[in-house]
C-alpha cells in the first residue's frame, strides 16, 4: 500500500512471498528502491533514496498509487490490508488539491483544499486566527479519505494562506466566505464541523442550507462570543477602540495579540444566534472542555436548549481546554463525523 510520502506498505505474512516479490518488482520499476523486510514480518517498505525523495512525491507517487490500486483489486488480501494499514496522515497537498484558490471579490482569493470523494461532503470551519491546516483540519482530511467522501477545507480572508487582512473581517464577512465555499465546492449534502468561531458560523450556515444539512459537529463552539466583549476590555483598550475603531487583546496561545475592531463587535450583535432559536432537523453533536478558559461550557448547554433537532448531544470533556486537540479528542470527534457520514449513506440508498 502507499502511505502519504510515496512509500509502499503491505503485510508480508498476509501477502505471501509471491505477492511480496510482485510488489518488489513494481517498486523497483518505479524506483521507490530497496524494499526491505522488517523484523517480525510485519511490513515491507519501499522508500525513495534521499537524493530522489523530492521527485518521489511529485512524479513517482501517482504511478505507485495506480500500482497499489491494481494490487488491491488483484489480490484478495488487498482490501483488508488497505483498511488495516492506511495511515491517518493526510496526502501531500499537491496530490489532493482540486482548487488551490477561490476568488471571492476582485482583490480577495481564499485558499481552498478539496479532497475529492462521494457525498456527503465534510466542510471544516476553523476558528478565529486559526487555519485549515491545524490538527482538526488535517485529521478530518484523513478521515474523509478513509471514508471515501469529499473534504473541503479553507482559510477565511485574513487567515492562513488567504488574501486580505484580518482587521478588515468580522463574523459576517467570514460567514459570507464560508457560504461561498460551501455553495461552490460542496453543492450537495454536507456535514459541517466548526471549531470555536467556526461553530458560530456553522449554525449561521445551517439555517440557510435546510435539507442539505446532514450533521453538525461543534468543538468548543463559540456562538455570539462578541457579547460583552467590549465591557471586558481595559480602559486603555476601550479608549483605543473609540478613537480608532481598533484595539488588540493578548492571546493565551502565543499567537497574539488578537485584533478587535468596532466592526467585529457590531457585526457580532447582528449575527447572534442564541437569542433567536435554531430550527434545525439534522443531528447535532457538541464537544466542550470543562476547563475551557475562553468559552464556558455553559454556552454549549445553552446551544442545546435553543435547538429544535431531535438528535442533539453534548460531550463534556473533563480537563478539556478550548482547543480539544489531543489524540483522544480528535478520535472522539472523528467517530461522530464518521457516524454521520455512514448514516447519510444508508439513508440515501
pLDDT of residue 348: 62
CB 290 within 8 A of CB 320: yes
> What is the distance between the alpha carbons of residues 111 and 158, in angstroms, rounded to a whole number?
10
pLDDT of residue 77: 40
Measured distance between the N- and C-terminal CA atoms of the chain, rounded to whole angstroms: 30
pTM for the predicted model, two decimal places: 0.72
pLDDT of residue 258: 94
pLDDT of residue 245: 97
For residue 275, give the DSSP letter: T
**Dihedrals phi, psi of 218, to nearest 5 degrees:** -110, 135
pLDDT of residue 118: 96
Please tell me the class of the 93-348 domain: alpha beta
Q: Which residues pair with 53 in a beta bridge?
A: none
Task: Map out the domains of the chain as residue ranges.
Answer: 8-85, 93-348
Show Cβ contacts of residue 98 under 8 Å, excluding neighbours closer than 6 positions. 114, 115, 116
For 271, the 3-state DSSP assignment is coil
Count of C-beta atoms within a 10 Å radius of residue 335: 11
pLDDT of residue 99: 52
pLDDT of residue 38: 30
* Averaged pLDDT, groups of 10, the chain, 349 residues long: 39 39 38 30 32 31 45 42 34 45 86 96 97 97 97 97 95 97 96 98 95 97 94 95 95 87 96 88 97 96 92 97 97 98 84
pLDDT of residue 327: 97
pLDDT of residue 276: 79
CA distances 156 to 124, 181, 259, Å, are 11, 10, 15
pLDDT of residue 107: 83
CB 166 within 8 A of CB 127: no
Amino acid at each position: 500500500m502507499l502511505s502519504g510520502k510515496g512509500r509502499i506498505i503491505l503485510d508480508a505474512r498476509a501477502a505471501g512471498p509471491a505477492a511480496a516479490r510482485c510488489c518488489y518488482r513494481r517498486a523497483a520499476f518505479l524506483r521507490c528502491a530497496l524494499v526491505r523486510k522488517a523484523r517480525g514480518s510485519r511490513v515491507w517498505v519501499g522508500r525513495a533514496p534521499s537524493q530522489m525523495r523530492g521527485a518521489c512525491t511529485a512524479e513517482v507517487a501517482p504511478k505507485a498509487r495506480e500500482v497499489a490500486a491494481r494490487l488491491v483489486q488483484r489480490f484478495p488480501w488487498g482490501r483488508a490490508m488497505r483498511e488495516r494499514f492506511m495511515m491517518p496522515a493526510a496526502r501531500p497537498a499537491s496530490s489532493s488539491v482540486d482548487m488551490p484558490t477561490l476568488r471571492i471579490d476582485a482583490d480577495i482569493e481564499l485558499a481552498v483544499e478539496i479532497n475529492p470523494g462521494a457525498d456527503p461532503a465534510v466542510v471544516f470551519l476553523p476558528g478565529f486566527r486559526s487555519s485549515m491546516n491545524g490538527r482538526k483540519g488535517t485529521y478530518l482530511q484523513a478521515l474523509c479519505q478513509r471514508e471515501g467522501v469529499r473534504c473541503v477545507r479553507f482559510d477565511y480572508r485574513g487567515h492562513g494562506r488567504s488574501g486580505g487582512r484580518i482587521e478588515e473581517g468580522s463574523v459576517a464577512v467570514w460567514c459570507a466566505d464560508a457560504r461561498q465555499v460551501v455553495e461552490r465546492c460542496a453543492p450537495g449534502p454536507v456535514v459541517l464541523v466548526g471549531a470555536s468561531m467556526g461553530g458560530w458560523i456553522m449554525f449561521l450556515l445551517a439555517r440557510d442550507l435546510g435539507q442539505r444539512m446532514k450533521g453538525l459537529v461543534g468543538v468548543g463552539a463559540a456562538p455570539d462570543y462578541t457579547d460583552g466583549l467590549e465591557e471586558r476590555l481595559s480602559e486603555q483598550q476601550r479608549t483605543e477602540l473609540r478613537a480608532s475603531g481598533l484595539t488588540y487583546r493578548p492571546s493565551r496561545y502565543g499567537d497574539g495579540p488578537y485584533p478587535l475592531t468596532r466592526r467585529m463587535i457590531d457585526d457580532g450583535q447582528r449575527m447572534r444566534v442564541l437569542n433567536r432559536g435554531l430550527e434545525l432537523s439534522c443531528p447535532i453533536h457538541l464537544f466542550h472542555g470543562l476547563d475551557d478558559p475562553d468559552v464556558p461550557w455553559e454556552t454549549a448547554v445553552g446551544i442545546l436548549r435553543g435547538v429544535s433537532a431531535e438528535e442533539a448531544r453534548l460531550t463534556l470533556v473533563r480537563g478539556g481546554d478550548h482547543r480539544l486537540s489531543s489524540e483522544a479528542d480528535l478520535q472522539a470527534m472523528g467517530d461522530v463525523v464518521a457516524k454521520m457520514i455512514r448514516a447519510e449513506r444508508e439513508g440515501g440508498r
